[in-house]
Structure 1
Amino acid sequence: MKRIAWVVGCLVLSIGGCAISPAPPASPAEGVAIQGLPLRWWEGFQDPALDRLVTLALDNNLDLKSAIQRIREQRALRRQSSSALFPILRGTGSAEASHNASDGADQSYLYGVDLTWEIDLFGRLRAQTRAAEANMQATAADYQALRVSLVADVISTYLRYRLAREEETIAQQAADNQQQTANITRIRFKGGTASGFDVERLEAQVNITRATIPAAREQAESSRYGLAYLLNRDQTEIDSILAQAVTPKQPLMPDVTALMALPATSLRNRPDVYATELRLQASTAELDAAKALRYPQLTLGALVGFEQGSGTPAWSISGQVFQPLVNFGQIRAAIEASDARQQQAWLTYQAALLQALREVRSALASYGQGMERQQLLALATHSAANARALARRQYEAGTVSLIEVLDAERVYFDARLDQVQATTDVLLKWTEIFRTLGLSPPA
C-alpha cells in the first residue's frame, strides 16, 4: 500500500507540477488592421489586372510554398516535444536459454508491454513544449511577413512595368511629333527658307528620342519576367493578364498625421515584429528548460507480461530518480548560454519595433514629398504643352527659329516623362507605406 501511495503522489505532483516561470503572455492577434486600414489595400488602385496578379502570386509563389513546408516542419517538432509529456508504451519480448550440469538445459520466454514515463516535476518538458509552440508560431509569422513582402513586390514590379510602357508611348509620340517638324523643315529647305543644318539637327533629335524606346522596352521586359517569377507562371499567362491592364488610380490617402503619431507598440502586429516577439518567448522557455536541469528527474516504469508455456503472469513497477551531482559546470554553462540567447532575442525584438516605426514614418514622409513633386510636375507639363504648341505655330509662321522649337519640344518631352515617373513614384511610395505597416490578408 505504501508503494502504491508513493506512485500516486508522484502522479499528482506531475499533474500540478511546478514550472519555473509562468507561460508567456498572449501575443497580439495576427491580421488586425491598423487605424481601420483595409487588409486588401491594393484594391484601391481599381485595376482588375493587378488584383489578378496579386491573387496568383499568393497562390503560386515558390517562396511561400517553401515557407508553408517550414511551418509543417515546426508543427511536427511541436508535436514531438509535447509527446514527451506522456507515457511511452512498447511491446517487449525476451528469450533466455541456460544449461548446467545438474538441471540440464532450461529455456524461458517472456512477452508483454513495457511503459516508461518521465514525470515533469520541475517543468522542463513543459518549457520545451512552450518553446516549440512559440517557434512554430514564429515560423507562421515569418510566412505572413513573406506574404506582405510578396504583395508589395508584385505591385512594385507591375507599376514599373506600367511606367516603362508609358515611357515607351511618350517617346514614340515625341519622336512622331519631331518627325513632323523635320518633314516641314525639309520642305522649307527645298523652298530655300530653311538650312540643311536645320534639317540635320532635327533628324538627329528624332533619332535621339527614338533611342530611348529600346531602353523602355528593355525595362518593361525585365518587369514582365520579374512578374512571371513572382507568380511562378508562364509568361504567356502573364501577358494575357497584362493585356487587360488599366492605368492604376491613386487611392485616397488615410490620415497621415494619425499614422505619423503611431507609437512603436502599435506595430507589434507587423508579422516580422511579431515573429521576433514569439522567438523571445521561445528563448524564455528554453531558459526555463535549462534551469530545470538543476533539479531531479523522475522516471516511472512498469512491465506486464506472461511467461510462455506456463502462462504465468509477470509484472514489475519501478521508479528512478536522477539528480546531477558533479558535472564540472556543464549545467551552469548551459543556463548562461540560454540566458545570453534570451537577452539577444529581447534586444532583437526592441530593435525590430524601432525599425518598424522608423520605416513607417520614413515612408509617410517620403509619400508627402512625392505628392508635392507630382503636383508641381503636373503644372509644369501643362505649361510645357502650351509653350510647345505656341512654338510650333510661330515656327510655321516664320516668327521663331528652329532652336526655340527644339527647346520647347525637349522641355515638353522631359516634363511628360518626369510627370509619369512622379506619378508612379507616388504609387510606389503608397505601396511602401502598406508594406511597412505589415498589412496583408491572413492566409
Structure 2
Amino acid sequence: MAFFLPILMLPGCQDLPKRDAKASGISLPASWQTPNSDTSEAIPHWLSSFADPLLTALVHTGLSQNYDLQAAAARVQAARASAALAGAGRLPQLSFSPSYQNNNDVVSGRFSEFSALFDLSWEIDLWGRIRSSQQAAQHDAEAAVADLRGARLSLAARTAQTYFELVEAKRQVQVAEQSVSDRQAIGDLVRGRFNLGLTRGLDVRLVLTDLANAQARLADARNQVQTITRRLETLLGHYPEGKTLATTQLPAPPANLAEGLPAQLLVRRPDLVAAFARLRSADARLSSAQRALLPRLTLTASGGSASPALAEIIGPHAAAWNLAAGLTQPLFTGGRLQSGIYLQKALVTEALNNYRSTALNAFREVEQALAAEQWLQKQEQSLREAVAQTQESRKLAIYSYRQGLIQILTLLDSYRSTLEAQSAHLAVQRQLLNNRINLYLALGGDVDAIN
C-alpha cells in the first residue's frame, strides 16, 4: 500500500499554473493618471531623439566596454549553461571504461586481462520531475537575459545623465568665472570711489569678501567637473584620467513621447520580465519537488568485452553484457521531501509578491516621471524669466550705485541674484533632461535601433 500511495497523490502534482504577465494582481487604470498623457504605443528608441552625436557615441562606447555590463553578459551564459545541465538528466548517460589488470598471488595464480566496457544509465522521467527542474533553469536563464537588457538600459541612462551632469557642471564653471570677473570689476569701481573719498572702507571690505566667496564657488565648480568627468570615464570602461569633454551645450529636450498603456509596461520593462520569469521558475521547482514523491524508474546496462589477450578482445567469445531495470520509491526520508515542497511553496509566494512589488514600483516611477515633466517645465520657464529680470536689475543697480542712490549691499545682492538665477536655470535644464531619461527608463524603451 505504501508503494501505491504516491501514485494516488499524482493528481496533486499538477502541471505548472497558468500565469499571465499582465495579471499582476494590481488593479490597473485604463491610462496613466497624469493629465494629457498620450496613450499610444511608446517610442521604442530614445537615444537618437536627443540629436546629440557625442552623447550617442559615449553611450555606445559604454555599452561595448563597461565591465559591469560584460559581467552581466557572462551571467547570461552561465544561466544558459545551468539550464543545459538541468536537462542533461533526461537523456541516457553513457561512459566507456577500458582497463588492464595483472594479478600474481598464491591463491589465484598469475593472470592478466584486458577489458573494454560500456556503462549506460537512464532515469526515465515518467512524471516530469527532471523536466520541471529543467524548465525552472530555463526560466532563470530568461530572467538573466532580461536582467542583461535592464543593465544595458540602466547603463545607457546613467551614461546619458552623467553626460548631462558634466555639461551642466562646465556651464556652471562659466557662470562662476563670469561672476568672479564681475566681482573684480565691482572691486575696481569701489576702490576707485574709495580713493576719491566717495565711499567708505567698509564697502571695499564687503566687495573683497564677496569676491573671495565667488572665487571659492568657482573652485568648487571646477572640482565638480573633474569629479563627474572621472565618473563618466569609469562608466565608459576607461581609466579615470580626468580628460574632460569639449562640449558645453546641453541638448534640447526631445518632443513629448507616447508612453503607452499601464498594462503594456508589464511585458516591456526588463525588471518586470525578469521578476515574472523568476516566478515561473519557482512554479517549476515546486512542481519538481512534488514529483520527487513519485517512483523513479532507472534503466542500467553494461557491455563490452574482456580477454587475457589484447588481440582477442574484439572476438565474439569475449563479449559480455547485462541489462537491469530498477524502480525506486521513497518511503521514509525524515520529512526531507515534504519540507522541500513546503520550501518551494514559500518561494513561490515570495516570487509572486516580489513580482507585484516590482510592478507597483514600476508604475510609481512612470507616474512620478510624467508628473515631474510638467512641473519641471513650469520651473524652467519661471527661472528663465528670473534670469532675464535679474540681468536687468543688475544693470539698474550698477547705475544707481554710481549715482550714489543705493548702498553697496544692494549692488552685491543684485549680482548674487543673477548668479543664483543662472545657476538654478542650468540645474533645472539638466533636471529636465534627466527626468526624460528616467521616463524612458521607467517605460522600458530600447536605447537605439542598433541594440
- Asked if TM exceeds 0.5, the reply is yes
Q: What secondary structure, in the 3-state scheme, does the structure 2 residue paired with 1:113 have?
A: strand
In structure 2, the CA distance between the partners of 1:419 and 1:246, relative to structure 1 (3 Å rule), is: closer
Asked if 1:325 is matched to 2:323, the reply is no
Q: Please, which moves more after superposition, 406-415 or 194-203?
A: 194-203
Q: Counterpart in 1 of 2:408?
A: 402
| Correspondence for 2:284 | 285
Any residues of structure 2 matched to 1:23-38 within 5 Å, and which?
35-38=40-43
SS of 1:111 mapped into structure 2: strand
Partners of 1:357 and 1:268 in 2: CA distance: 13
Q: 2:36 — aligned with what?
A: none
> Paired residue for 1:7?
none
Aligned counterpart, 1:214: 219
Matched, 1:350 2:356: yes
Superposed counterparts of 1:8-407, under 5 Å: 20-22=14-16, 35-93=40-98, 109-235=114-240, 239=243, 242-244=245-247, 246-255=249-258, 262-264=261-263, 266-308=265-307, 309=312, 311-312=316-317, 313-407=319-413
The equivalent position to 1:415 in structure 2, one of 412, 421, 426, is: 421
Counterparts of 2:166 and 2:107, CA distance in 1: 96
Aligned pairs, number: 415
Q: 1:106, 1:330 → 2: CA distance?
A: 49
Q: Is the 8 A contact 1:387 1:408 kept in 2?
A: yes
Contact 1:276/1:352 (CA < 8 Å) preserved in 2? yes
Query: C-alpha separation between the residues in 1 aligned to 2:117 and 2:52?
Result: 69
Give SS of 2:268's match.
Answer: coil
Gaps of 5+ in 1: 1-17, 29-33
CA distance in 1, matches of 2:92, 2:248: 61
Deviations 1:5-25 (A, max 9, x none): xxxxxxxxxxxxx98415866
Tell me, in whole angstroms, the C-alpha distance in 2 between the residues paired with 1:37 and 1:43: 15
Contact kept, 8 Å, 2:101 with 2:114, in 1: the verdict is yes
What amino acid is aligned across from residue 248 of structure 1 in structure 2? P
| 1:353 positional shift | 0.7
Separation in structure 2 between the aligned mates of residue 83 and residue 365 of structure 1, nearest angstrom: 51
Distance in 2 of aligned mates of 1:83 and 1:157: 46
Q: Distance in 1 between matches of 2:257 and 2:151?
A: 24
Superposition deviation, residue 391 in structure 1:
1.9
Paired with 1:248 and 1:373, the residues of 2 have a C-alpha distance of: 18
Q: Which letter does structure 2 place at the counterpart of 1:407?
A: D
Identity of aligned residues (%): 27
The equivalent residue for 1:424 is 430
How far, CA to CA, are the matches of 1:94 and 1:367 in structure 2? 76
C-alpha contact (below 8 Å) 2:133/2:284 kept by paired residues = yes
Distance 1:94 1:186 in 2: 103
Which residue identity lines up with residue 283 of structure 1 in the other structure? A
Counterparts of 1:367 and 1:61, CA distance in 2 = 30
| Alpha-carbon separation, structure 1, partners of 2:348 and 2:434 | 38
Kindly state the Cα deviation for residue 212 of structure 1 after the two structures are TM-superposed.
0.2
Question: 2:4: which partner in 1?
Answer: none
Tell me by how many angstroms 1:216 deviates: 0.7
Structure 2, unaligned stretches of length 5 or more? 1-11, 23-38
Do 2:167 and 2:249's aligned partners in 1 also have CA atoms closer than 8 Å?
no
- 1:349 Cα shift? 0.8
Residue 127 of structure 1: how far off its partner (Å): 0.6
* Shift in alpha-carbon separation, 1:49–1:104, aligned structure 2, 3 A: closer
Q: Give the drift of 1:300.
A: 1.3
> Per the alignment, in what secondary structure is the counterpart of residue 367 of structure 2?
helix
Give the letter for the 1:89 counterpart.
L
RMSD: 2.8
- Aligned partners of 1:58 and 1:48: how far apart in 2? 15
State the alpha-carbon separation in 2 of the partners of residues 100 and 190 from structure 1: 121
CA distance in 1, matches of 2:109, 2:206: 120
Alpha-carbon distance in 1 for matches of 2:54, 2:108: 91
TM-score (norm 2): 0.84
CA deviations on 1:382-407 (whole Å, 9 max, x unpaired) are: 11111111222333344444333222
Judge conservation of contact 2:114–2:306 (CA < 8 Å) in 1.
yes
**Deviation string for 1:91-126 (max 9, x for gaps)?**
134677899999977765542322221111000111
Structure 1's 370 and 102: CA in aligned 2 closer, same or farther, altered over 3 A? closer
Equivalent AA in structure 2 for residue 375 of structure 1: Q
CA distance in 2, matches of 1:384, 1:103: 110
TM-score w.r.t. structure 1 length?
0.85
Offset of residue 298 of structure 1: 0.8
